[in-house]
Amino acid sequence: MFTETLSWTRQPENFRIEPDRVEITTLPHTDLWQRTYYHFRNDNAPVLQAETEKKYFSFVVKTDFSNSAHRFDQCGIVMYLDSENWLKASVEYENEKFGHLGSVVTNHGYSDWATTAIPADVKTMWYRFSRREDDYCIECSADGKEFSQMRICHMHEGAGKIRFGIYACSPEESSFTAVFTHMALTECVWKAHDGQQPD
């Protein structure tokens, strides 16, 4: 089982790991962010990851955040290399009307944030994280079958051994239990580009 390969980068106080299911209960004031715009640096979200040197692969997981009900509560996929080099994708709770489906890429200590608003009644989301050497693709899906691209990015420190997996956090005064299922590691489904040739 994929869960047997996972280890904590930061372990939460309350969690449950089963062969086909992981539950993480967040603590208040946990988050991942570096500098940009807000100027603060948050680096204390619980992260559960596998380690690999494989240059080409895809990782799939289903997230359930039905229990989230406070602004910025979030859970999703992560590739956490160190405090200043990581990426994540998640749905963040915003209010009773909408949430934010988005991703953050942090290179050399500066984060960005790309989002789109989705209805608040969306309570589950699938993600697919793919690697092609030091380039990465993040996709999402409502049903685990049809995936849509969220972003393609380059990780300056992502060429060698990496760690990737799941995370959950609650940046404000809240807590919720995130549920992760259907985790699988596959051959890379993000195919080589077939258009313009490299320079």
Does 172 reside within a domain?
yes
Instruction: Yes or no: say if 17 and 6 are a contact pair by the CB < 8 Å rule.
Output: yes
Q: What are phi and psi of 3, to 5 degrees?
A: -60, -25
Question: CATH number of the domain that 85 lies in?
Answer: 2.60.120.200
pLDDT of residue 194: 86
End-to-end CA distance of the chain: 42
Instruction: Please tell me the distance from the alpha carbon of residue 43 to that of residue 46, in angstroms, as a whole number.
Output: 9
- 93: Cβ–Cβ under 8 A, 6 or more apart, which residues? 65, 68, 69, 70, 71, 72, 73, 74, 99, 120
| Burial readout 42-69 (b: 16 or more C-beta within 10 A, e: otherwise) | bbebbbbbbeeeeeebbbbbbbbbebbe
User: Scanning the structure block, which residue is given the tokens 């930061």?
Assistant: 10
Instruction: Yes or no: say if 56 and 67 are a contact pair by the CB < 8 Å rule.
Output: no
pLDDT of residue 29: 98
Number of domains comprising the chain = 1
Which regions in the chain score pLDDT beneath 70?
1
- 76: Cβ–Cβ under 8 A, 6 or more apart, which residues? 63, 88, 89, 90, 91, 125, 127, 166, 167, 168
Does 81 reside within a domain?
yes
Give the pLDDT confidence of 112-145 residue by residue, as tens digits: 999 999 999 999 999 999 999 999 999 999 999 9
Does 194 reside within a domain?
no
Amino acid at 180: F
Domain that holds residue 16: 2-186
Does 193 reside within a domain?
no
Does 133 reside within a domain?
yes
